[in-house]
Structure 1
Amino acid sequence: MWGYLVLILSSLACSYQASNFSGVVVSYGRFWNDSYVAVHYTINSRNECINPFWTCLSGYCGLKAQEFNVTAPGLFGGCTTVGLTIYYVSGPTQFVLSLHGLQWVNVTNDVKDAVALTRVDWRRRSDTGKANASPRSAVPHVLRVPSNCERKVTLPTIDSDGDAVACRFQNKTSVLKLTPNCTMTFIPGANVSYAEGKYAVQLIMEDFPRQNITLTDGKGNAIPLQSENALGQIPIQFLLMVDPRVESCVEGEYLPAFLPPTPANGDLLFASVDETLKIYINTIARKANSTEMIFIGPPGMVSAFKDGLHFLVWTPIETDLGQSQHVCFIVQALERVTLIVRHSEMRCVIVTVVPVVVELRARLRSAFPLYESTFNLTQIKAELVMQGLPADITLRLLSFDEKTATATPSGGETQTAVLAPSTP
């Protein structure tokens, strides 16, 4: 009798976890050398945490040399599982990994089975001399939009090989339009009540070489690849929550709006090892009771709130040196009367860890107007080198304020520029 009861309870638990899936993001790259493929994944669930099982769908996937994952509580009682699996492949190969045995939570667009394929092309590239690394991206496991407001979301991308990155639907979602540059647009339909609900969004992200290349396999065969053909593919999947109508689509009323000093979407930020980076995020939602921040960032990044500002705090370590990381954030607000949760737009920045970050604020004086398009960094670098900075420093113009020009006694103008070193 007890054995029978245990068997049934175990079966129910498995079924509960199986229909628990709410999104996944995968990427792959080198681990130590080309003999090891590192597959990174983030899997989201709405109830219990998921222990994923990856199957080798085709090709030679090699041997699992190491595997580990960590789980953390998510929103609304959900869970996020972040993991890394390292495959020993010994040389150039191709294979496809499949996420096995999971089912989506109940969604309006009637998607049931979780189909998430990662296609790895690990042949040696003629342009880089190395195996291909996939693009990397990030997205929260839930994005919310009111049913009557248009909203655009552009997925951030980093590709260490310098490839072109494009997105396409795995299964079309009727409420979203997608462009190849990975920008999704929610356009309200005439039948608003039909649009409300949860939608499973399933995208495929691919990388394309910017020129024709050859790929060398394990037998030494060189196979040509045209620039219009994809190298690999990764899955990007999440939940889109289409919420009830909002009285006003103007940001800053019911929908949170970002204010300075919040970074702009796509900004490049720099950090250095053992130096704490703070990203300040300022928002307003006049008809909300409270706001809280949702973010995706590197391990160790935390959020805080002080003096009316949200901010993200991260201190890079030695292993982060030279790496670029996505940091994406959303602010959600709770309406005072309806108690409906509303999301801001999603913003993403890229943080690159460099040996030293120096920010210079220079007030420039010139007898003629200066413009960003004609700003001469070469002359400034030469002057800085003469003052003792290393000759191999690389400068990047972070900002240049053309509007604050003021007249000087000599008849010239003064303007402010902010400079920082780019990735060495």
Structure 2
Amino acid sequence: MTVSVSAPAASAAETVLRRPSLVGRTRSGLAEALAEIGVPEKERRMRVGQLWNWIYHYGVREFDAMTTIGKGLRGELAEHFTLDLPSVTAEQVSTDGTRKWLMRMPSTGPHDRGAEIECVYIPEVDRGTLCVSSQVGCTLTCTFCHTGTQRLVRNLKTEEIVAQLMVARDRLGDFPNRKPPEGAFVPNDGGRFVSNIVFMGMGEPLYNFDGVRDAIGVITDDQGLSLGRRRITVSTSGVVPQIGPLGEEMGTMLAISLHAVRDDLRNELVPLNKKYPIKDLLEACRNYPGLSNAKRITFEYVMLKGVNDSDAEARELVRLLKGIPAKINLIPFNPWPGTKYECSDWDRIERFSEIVFRAGYASPVRTPRGRDILAACGQLKSETEKLSARARLMLEQEEAQAAPAVAAE
């Protein structure tokens, strides 16, 4: 494991003077930025297209690199905006190649230190998957999930969600003419380092519906980042009213954090179940727009020793999902400090998987990735607290030094 702390905290003076970044904005957001600096309305659509290509296809970090835009407009843009990405406070690299980034979003004023979130990149033989966050913290309190022990701070903005992919591509050398870092996974088919995205990081995506929807619009635009909607999976703990709109407005793959086959147990593991019980959740799944054998729903089932891993529960799971085109991901529980749960024994997981498989469902056992850096499923948050404390100390020192100068102004 390697840990690198980079991008020192912004000083109070820098926070006050910071220009907003254009990275992560939608097309309409870029048009609004151009309007702010006086670009005529009849010219904006063309300029948005140029900015879009430079920002999202080429990943440029300076306006001067945008050679198809006149020098005068480049100067105006640089005077009022930046192309900054969120700062990476820390990067951890697992022994299996998984990378976890602790990112600090740009602050919005002198009293905002910038939200911090975690984002994870998982390299595999046939793909590179980026696990992105949709909220700072989480509004849910799933008892087996470490992220659920962190209070919800706020929803991430569209730009902040898109920026996670931009940071990943930037640090992996995944833009044209960029070199990957030493030891990075290199696709053997000439494809992108980041080929798939899962909204399985911090937060409940469907409680940030508009932000996630607009971010997916930016990510899937074929003139820029250009990821197909079938390569994006939105995972929900079961926000039933938003499942239909997710399929209608986003058209992505759907994953359900199920984890139990009885309401009494799921009420404990996933307290949201008290509001939207299993029956209602599965009915919403059956009606998911576009559902077919080619567009199956993934049901995530974390294996908890002596809690939800019996043969009877495997058979009940098969009964519940009858008629739903589905894949069942069995997830060995990833421990975190203070948890009361243990991972099911391997032979118990295999037996559970066999029952599900014989019933006609794909039931892969997800290989734990990034456990040594607490980047595996359900572990996000942990090391962040130590790293954040260090970052906060740096910030406080910077602010103390800058305070006299700011007061004098």
TM-score bin, normalised by smaller chain: under 0.3
Q: Judging by fraction of residues, say which structure has more strand.
A: 1
Larger radius of gyration: 1
Alignment TM-score, normalising by the size of structure 1:
0.21
